[in-house]
Structure 1
Amino acid sequence: MTTRRTAGVRLLAALAVVALSATACSGGGRQKADDGDTGGGNAPGSSGYTIAMITHETPGDTFWDKIRAGANQAAKDEGVILRYSNDPDAAKQAVLIQNAVDSRVSGIATTLVTPNALAGAVRTATNAGIPVVGFNSGIDQYRKLGALMYFGSDETLAGQTAGRRLGQAGAKHPLCVIQAAGSVALEARCAGVKSAVSGTENIQVNGADDAAVVATLQAKLSQDSSIDAIVTLGAPIAIDALKAMDSSGSKAKLVTFDLNAEAAQDIQDGKIDFSIDQQPYVQGYMAVTSLYLYLKNGNDIGGGKAVLTGPSFVDQSNIDKILPFTKNNTR
């Protein structure tokens, strides 16, 4: 956590602490939902600003619907024109950033899941005088790339938090499931788990193919009965893991990062022990709002430090309150 914050950052930090102890929630999923918001707002473009939001979203993963819902609401609130684009391929995401530069947008909000591949495009933006804000991925690299601000979870801390809780429950051999190759955020989560439980083993799966995920995990669980916990790094993968556990007869505990309505229901039903939340709606909202405030008033939210939106626990102690928000596509 940061030691110097503006009043706005202190408020976000306080909300994150409340969420940790009480009502944290998150998003995720695969069945695409409509982009949502809570209504109201100003006419698009009334502020005079156009902001490009560029992510590594894999088509069909509705975790990003929460990001977009927050971003859309912020754009309405501030009268911003929002242009959203995405590609899970790092080189193609870099092209999207370059396209935004060429179209002379007012600001760019981007995920930095593969920072080395995006560094050139981000520098092109900053050299052109276009402010860049990072969010969701790249907390350790955003400053080096030239991004002004960052909104997201500390993924290493999130992994350590999950690992400590698993260790306290007696886990000795967790299996950490990485669904996207090269993602610094996912690797940091698994590294955090391993720092708390040394017997943690990583496994790579193809997160864009549910059937392949189930088959890979089923084979692994069938051949290694010592696996006593499974850590999935996204709610859709948790659903796949449940199918693999059923087929293999595994009795491992299942925990996940992020939420969707199905995973939230599984937490309520006791099938998933807990989730680690990063509040994607807040990430999308603050990424757009921070650029608006920077352009309009020169504000620097965070004072050069990342603004944390997580991690926090979602479990049976708070799921009843959170479940309706997962269905509203905002948490």
Structure 2
Amino acid sequence: MRRHQRAATLTATALAGVLFAAGCSSSSGGKKSEEEGAAASAGKANTPRMTVAMITHASPGDTFWDLIRKGAQAAAAKDNIKLVYSSDPSAGNQANLVQNAIDQKVDGIALTAAKPEAMKDVVAKAQSAGIPVVGFNSGVGNWKELGMLEYFGQDENIAGQAFGERLNELGAKHAVCVIQEQGQVALEARCAGLKKGFKGKTDTLYVNGTDMPSVKSTITAKLKQDSSIDQVVTLGAPIALTAVQSVSDAGTDAKVATFDLNKDLVKAVQDGTVEFAVDQQPYLQGYLSVDALWLYKTNGNFSGGGTAPVLTGPAFITKDNVDQVADFAAKGTR
């Protein structure tokens, strides 16, 4: 598929730049904190100190966002940037955090647009204040109309279609797509793409992703209710690992495959309890979004010509290639 090939090319190009920077660690406190780290091994920029606000829709305890934040911290250390990270799963509260960043007169803002409509007014206010805004992770279908400079992430609908096509190859007939946050555009797009690419029957199941015991019982109940389901599709690594338990509790032969990756999910792919994972490279998303603001403010550079997103996925991780990313996952960069 040509668009998949293009995604892989863009990902490889972007990743080549990332390999020159090493990750860094820093302390954090509360919902809002300043992230600073040691210079990366490639050297630290001698450009004037910048302040960049990164504002996401992350839920408390969701380790996926640790990877994004780690990439952002590495770029900030390299580029002499003071990184101020904050998050809130409530779209309204996230918009307020963006407004706070505008009021503080930051030099750039990187944000996720899981609920694009909620970001519309504050992104316009940032533009009026002369603050460049880049998007990442969520909002690939809306970043241009919101007026963002660039976007870094995965085309979730295309990734979902590719996921469905892989299920066709594996012989699945009836899938349930588990969405952990209703109305989140990236998650909804994944399931919509899955339905388009999968030739079998697809059900959608909504769960509360912040309550894992509830996730487990809801998936278990669904599998017991309909024994024809032979494939569970989850949209996050922690949900996938919980779904494996649900399959066992339900006593079915259903298989589990997922979007997103972490070190525990790597082990599950290695031992076969999870068939495969689609990696959107969150570390890369965090790194590129911060580095992009430095490039724009310092050199006037921007990627994608202002019309195309920079794609960081989908990259399929299977038992055949999982060992190639295992060490990177253990380090928190995949």
Counterpart for residue 270 of structure 1: 272
Q: What letter corresponds to residue 284 of structure 1 in structure 2?
A: G
Further displaced range: 196-205 or 306-315: 196-205
Deviations 1:19-69 (A, max 9, x none): xxxxxxxxxxxxxxxx99896367799632110000011111111111011
Unpaired segments of 5 or more residues in structure 1? Answer: 19-34
Deviations 1:96-115 (A, max 9, x none): 00000000000000001110
Contact 1:159 1:191 in 2 (8 A): yes
Distance 2:37 2:323 in 1: 22
Correspondence 1:312 to 2:312: no
Structure 1 residue 230 displacement after superposition: 0.6
Aligned mate of 2:289, from 287, 290, 293: 287
Distance 1:81 1:46 in 2: 12
Counterpart for residue 114 of structure 1: 115
Structure 1 residue 180 displacement after superposition: 0.8
Structure 1 residue 142 displacement after superposition: 0.4
Correspondence 1:329 to 2:332: yes
Q: TM-score, normalised by structure 1?
A: 0.88
Correspondence 1:47 to 2:86: no
- Which residues in structure 2 correspond to 1:174-185 (within 5 Å)? 174-185=175-186
| CA pair 149-16 structure 1, distance change in 2 beyond 3 A | closer
Counterpart for residue 84 of structure 2: 83
| CA pair 316-298 structure 1, distance change in 2 beyond 3 A | same
Structure 1 residue 259 displacement after superposition: 1.1
Contact 2:36 2:82 in 1 (8 A): no
Distance 1:140 1:223 in 2: 35
Structure 1 residue 205 displacement after superposition: 0.2
Aligned mate of 1:250, from 237, 249, 252: 252
Structure 1 residue 167 displacement after superposition: 1.2
Counterpart for residue 26 of structure 1: none
1:200 aligns to what SS in structure 2? strand
| CA pair 186-236 structure 1, distance change in 2 beyond 3 A | same
Contact 1:37 1:69 in 2 (8 A): no
Contact 1:36 1:69 in 2 (8 A): no
% identical equivalent positions = 50
Distance 1:289 1:229 in 2: 39
Deviations 1:290-311 (A, max 9, x none): 0001011111111111000000
C-alpha RMSD of matched pairs (Å): 2.4
Structure 1 residue 217 displacement after superposition: 0.4
Structure 1 residue 83 displacement after superposition: 0.4
Say which structure, 1 or 2, has more relative contact order (CA 8 Å, 6+ apart): 1
The ranges of structure 1 where at least 4 consecutive aligned residues each deviate by more than 4 angstroms after the TM superposition are 15-18, 35-39, 41-46
Structure 1 residue 215 displacement after superposition: 0.6
Counterpart for residue 64 of structure 1: 65
Distance 1:166 1:256 in 2: 11
| CA pair 91-17 structure 1, distance change in 2 beyond 3 A | closer
Q: What letter corresponds to residue 100 of structure 1 in structure 2?
A: A
Contact 1:16 1:312 in 2 (8 A): no
Distance 2:107 2:133 in 1: 10
Structure 1 residue 238 displacement after superposition: 0.3
Structure 1 residue 17 displacement after superposition: 11
| CA pair 235-10 structure 1, distance change in 2 beyond 3 A | closer
Q: What letter corresponds to residue 326 of structure 2 in structure 1?
A: L
Counterpart for residue 210 of structure 1: 212
- State the aligned residue count: 310
Distance 2:92 2:178 in 1: 24
Q: TM-score, normalised by structure 2?
A: 0.88
